[in-house]
Amino acid sequence: MVRREIRTPQLPEKLVPFFLVRPEWLDRWHEEALDPDLPIVDPHYHLWTMAGNEYLLTDLVADMKQGHNVWAAVAVEGRTGYRTDGPAELRAVGETELLIDQLNRLDPAQVAGLQPCAGIVAHADLRLGAAVEGVLEAHKRAAGNRLRGIRLGASTHPDPSLRLTLSQPPLGLLLDADFRKGFSLLKARDLSFDASVYHPQIPDLVDLAHAFPDTTIILNHMGTPLGVGPYAGRRNEVFSEWRAHLADLATCSNVNVKIGGFGIPGLGLDFSTYLDPPSSEELASAWRPYIETCVEIFGAERCMFESDFPVDKGMFSYGCFWNATKIVSRQYTLDERKALFSGTAARVYRLSRH
């Protein structure tokens, strides 16, 4: 199909944390699922209730049924459904309650064989120190046996143009003494930590991982090697710096990596301006260096592909995401592919197929 780009060379006046999902645009391109029998666990999606950009469990199930063998998915905190009253530190428990409510409302016939909320990574402000214990227990009660970990987003940068998240975490969060007091409670509760950082912050994560070698840590979105703002036009330089940071992080055996987040605007791989959505071949070509680097450094047994939907849905469809990762991963052995698509995620988040 002939494709015409409608890019402009200038960056937008204000960088955004995500692109809006445009169903009519996504409908302009469809593909059959490649390797449809390959088992998949999607270890990273969000529930959103933002007007004009909703993504509920019914939407996830529809995506899971696009022809790929996605049998389970893990919900990661997205600052959605918070309680509107009560103690501030407990309001995030509302998101866990919303997930379980959504799960209970699903038609069993529509989700037969699927686990759309096999695990939950909830939000808790670990800077509360020992006082965060009450928040962890509240999430556990709300989630039942589905609570697997905690995420407190740390992605931030001193350049104000790179504040691309819905929250505004302080610089040096992972090094903060109070944060680490709260973090120290995770291991005893069999909870992992999902780390959301930009690539210049990876050294802070290395320090954290060395300080708590028995706590499982999952690097989200490959550490987001930035490609916008002051990093625009410096992709090779950024890639080298990001790769070196990953090599340092890989020395920490308690760290695993989610390969994804390719649709995050901060990465600078913008397909949203295409007249038609990108094909899986186009995506694979752009993503290959990042995927290959993660697998080379960490090994497939410590890497897992993540959709990061609906954040990334503003740039490509769910089906094309999995097709693109399957194209790039064909160079790996069957065991390595099994690890990348389901094995690592199932191990890290303690999932089993019913």
Pairing between β-strand 115-123 and β-strand 69-76 as defined by DSSP bridges: parallel
Total domain count, the chain:
1
In a domain, 136, yes or no: yes
Cβ contacts of 246 within 8 Å, gap of 6 or more: 202, 222, 223, 257, 293, 294, 297, 298
In a domain, 16, yes or no: no
pLDDT of 4 strictly over 50? no
Torsion angle, alpha carbons of 282, 285, 286, 290, to 10: 140
The two tokens of residue 327 are 């194209």
Q: In CATH, what number is assigned to the domain containing residue 132?
A: 3.20.20.140
**Domain range spanning residue 127?**
26-348
In a domain, 59, yes or no: yes
CB 116 within 8 A of CB 106: yes
- Rounded CA-CA distance 338/301 in Å is 9
In a domain, 145, yes or no: yes
In a domain, 202, yes or no: yes
Amino acid occupying residue 340: L
In a domain, 319, yes or no: yes
In a domain, 228, yes or no: yes
Tens digit of each residue's pLDDT (9 = 90 or more) over 28-85: 999 999 999 999 999 999 999 877 789 999 999 999 999 999 999 999 999 999 999 9
pLDDT at 14: 53
Between residues 21 and 174, which one has the greater pLDDT? 174
The two tokens of residue 224 are 């987001």
- Rounded CA-CA distance 17/12 in Å is 12
Write out the H or E segment, with its range, that includes residue 98: helix 93-105
- Rounded CA-CA distance 40/339 in Å is 9
- Rounded CA-CA distance 126/151 in Å is 9
> pLDDT-derived band of residue 15, with 50, 70 and 90 as boundaries?
low
Tens digit of each residue's pLDDT (9 = 90 or more) over 153-206: 999 999 887 877 777 889 999 999 999 999 999 999 999 999 999 999 999 999
Mean pLDDT, the chain, whole residue set: 93
**DSSP structural state of residue 152:** -
Residue with token string 């989630």: 143
- Rounded CA-CA distance 342/32 in Å is 20
Tens digit of each residue's pLDDT (9 = 90 or more) over 223-240: 999 999 999 999 999 999
Tens digit of each residue's pLDDT (9 = 90 or more) over 304-330: 999 999 999 999 999 999 999 999 999
In a domain, 7, yes or no: no
